[in-house]
Amino acid sequence: MKTASYAAYAAKESLHPHTIERRSLQSTDVLIEIEYCGVCHTDLHFVNNDWGMTKYPVVPGHEIVGRIKQVGSEVGKFKVGDLAAIGCMVNSCGQCSSCESGNEQYCLNGFTATYNSPVSDPGGMTFGGYSQRIVADESFVLHVPEGLETPGTAPLLCAGITTYSPLLHWSVCQGMKVGIVGLGGLGHMGVKFSHALGAHTVMITTTPEKAEDAKKLGADETLLSTDSDQMSKQAGEFDFILNTIPVDHQVDPYLDLLKVDGTMCVVGAIEPLSQVNAAQLMFGRKQLAGSLIGGISQTQEMLNFCGENNIVSEVEVIRIDQIQEAFERLLKSDVKYRFVIDLKSI
């Protein structure tokens, strides 16, 4: 079925209106009419081919929320009219050890991304949520609690699960001291989740002006990482640190904050960290770890948790024809804290 979308045709070019072809519904497919799609920094990386893997034309978008308009003959989880969502994946092999344990994001054969993955569908690639509608197998579609504010729900499908998953994996709970490094699209969700899980939550930032925002989001205190006295006073006090800085940086100051057996998990920098001092890990039995989104069952758990605790992302809603301006502002970190595209009138 022909579908209106916005696509990039070449690296570093503006997005333009583009018609794609969605596959006809198979027996376990659902058709979602997209209402909102979040704008992730990954979208900009793919538009610009920063990682050297973009196949053009590329239709970005993997934070998708909309209403189900049609279901396949064997669909059992959804019905027409349901509010549903799609995140970063639309398929995986389903047979490897990762998939069998509910960790499709670590599929040993590689999961099928919501956009820019080769498939047998029309066009030969997956096309994302900067579009009017999407077709996907019901096993990779999620229920959205009806009480959640819809635009703010969209970024939960990437920024939300990226921060929720490691907090759950490392059992963040009441009685723990947790640091969130960086107050952006990921960091603001980390603060919200850590607070909701009952941890003493510390926003760690280079910008003192962010203290008031951090407090509103649920942080108990703010630690200025550029202040050596503040950092020294809290050395060895943190059970867990979630590091959302999106580029290569010095991790030493943050590792010093960890207790013995503490963990810092990196979720922002998808690139080499050039300097890691192994001595810091050895003298304190500390862990430097990483985490990538979450499996389908955990993502549904996260959405349910958000419904129970009324947690959504802080967003600025834009029209699809404002996407280039949004990309430019994204590069300047000029958004609090996530852009979301209103696609109801594309």
Mean pLDDT throughout 143-147? 94
Yes or no: domain 159-290 corresponds to CATH 3.40.190.10: no
pLDDT band, residue 180 (cuts 50/70/90)? very high
The pLDDT of residue 120 is above 90: yes
In the chain, the percentage of residues whose pLDDT exceeds 90 is: 93
The DSSP call for residue 208 is G
Those residues whose C-beta lies under 8 Å from the C-beta of residue 228, and which sit 6 or more positions away, are none
Q: Judge if pTM exceeds 0.85.
A: yes
pLDDT computed for residue 275 by the predictor: 83
pLDDT digits (tens, 9 = 90+) for 68-116: 999 999 999 999 999 999 999 999 999 999 999 999 999 999 999 999 9
Q: How many residues does the chain have?
A: 346
pLDDT band, residue 288 (cuts 50/70/90)? very high
pLDDT digits (tens, 9 = 90+) for 73-84: 999 999 999 999
Mean pLDDT throughout 318-330? 97
The pLDDT of residue 214 is above 90: yes
Contact 217, 195 (CB under 8 A): yes
The domain limits of the chain are: 2-158+313-342, 159-290
Amino acid code (one letter) for 16: H
- The CATH code of domain 2-158+313-342 reads 3.90.180.10
pLDDT band, residue 248 (cuts 50/70/90)? confident
pLDDT computed for residue 230 by the predictor: 96
Strand order in the sheet with 238-243: 221-224, 200-205, 177-181, 238-243, 258-266, 287-290
pLDDT computed for residue 132 by the predictor: 98
Amino acid code (one letter) for 234: Q
Contact 306, 275 (CB under 8 A): no
CA distance 271 to 51: 10
